[in-house]
Amino acid sequence: MTSARARRFTVGAALAAGILVSGAGDVRAQAGGMPAGTPPAMVATYESLADAILAVKNTEVNLVRAILGTGHAHAQVELDRARKAIKAGDAKGAQAALEGLAAVVGQLGTEGDSAVGAVRKRLLEGGHHHNAAGEVKGIYDEGFVVVTRAARQAFLDASKAIGLLARAPKGDALETEWKKVEATWASLMKGSV
């Protein structure tokens, strides 16, 4: 059984060979006095490749948004648990829910948990920087796709504050922190599908 890397290499090599073979006839035709230039078949194939690369980039955005959406939904469940426990005077239940909420809000700031972080690290090691221009400008941390540096910091600050609330759960303080989470969330999701 071949590895995924070997299969990708084989597919890439086959694509390159196909391009060269299809362009060979065009090159022979140009040698007969026609103007030199990149054969149209090669340009068309390169256009197709560009479409595929850009589609993969869009897919990455959609996937990260889905990861974030799932995390946000999970945070809302933990928020509801915390609200109910605080209202009922259940200190242990409120503490557990607030700790869970803090963890999930932190994961919003890091575009997922450590498993997602490992994938991001692998992509970076392979030279893939989704927001390379934004990284240079300081808008995004290295490898991040959707969450900006400012949003990341806002989520992490809220996560820390919510975690501290677990020591002495208070409904009004929770609502204040959750409003910050929601404001950051709304700013990130503007224009998303």
Residue 49 in domain: no
Structure-block tokens of residue 87: 């209202």
> What are 131-179's pLDDT values in tens digits?
899 999 999 999 999 999 999 999 999 999 999 999 999 999 999 999 9
> What are 83-109's pLDDT values in tens digits?
999 999 999 999 999 999 999 999 999
Split into its structural domains, the chain has a count of 1
> What are 121-144's pLDDT values in tens digits?
999 999 988 989 999 999 999 999
SS (H, E, C) 64-89: HHHHHHHHHHHHHHHHHHHHHHHHHC
Specify the pLDDT at position 1: 41
Q: Residue 144: phi, psi to the nearest 5?
A: -75, 145
Residue 166 in domain: yes
Residue 48 in domain: no
Is it the case that residue 2 has pLDDT exceeding 50?
no
Residue 114 in domain: yes
**What are the residue ranges of helices labelled H in the chain?**
4-31, 40-88, 91-109, 114-125, 132-136, 149-165, 171-189
Residue 2 in domain: no
Q: What is the mean pLDDT of the chain?
A: 87
In the chain, the percentage of residues whose pLDDT exceeds 90 is 72
Residue 77 in domain: yes
Using an 8 Å Cβ cutoff, are 73 and 50 in contact? no
Residue with tokens 């989520």: 155
Residue 179 in domain: yes
> What are 50-81's pLDDT values in tens digits?
888 888 889 999 999 999 999 999 999 999 99
Residue 182 in domain: yes
Check which CATH number belongs to the domain holding 89 and give it.
Answer: 1.20.120
Can you give the residue range of the structural domain that contains 152? Answer: 60-189
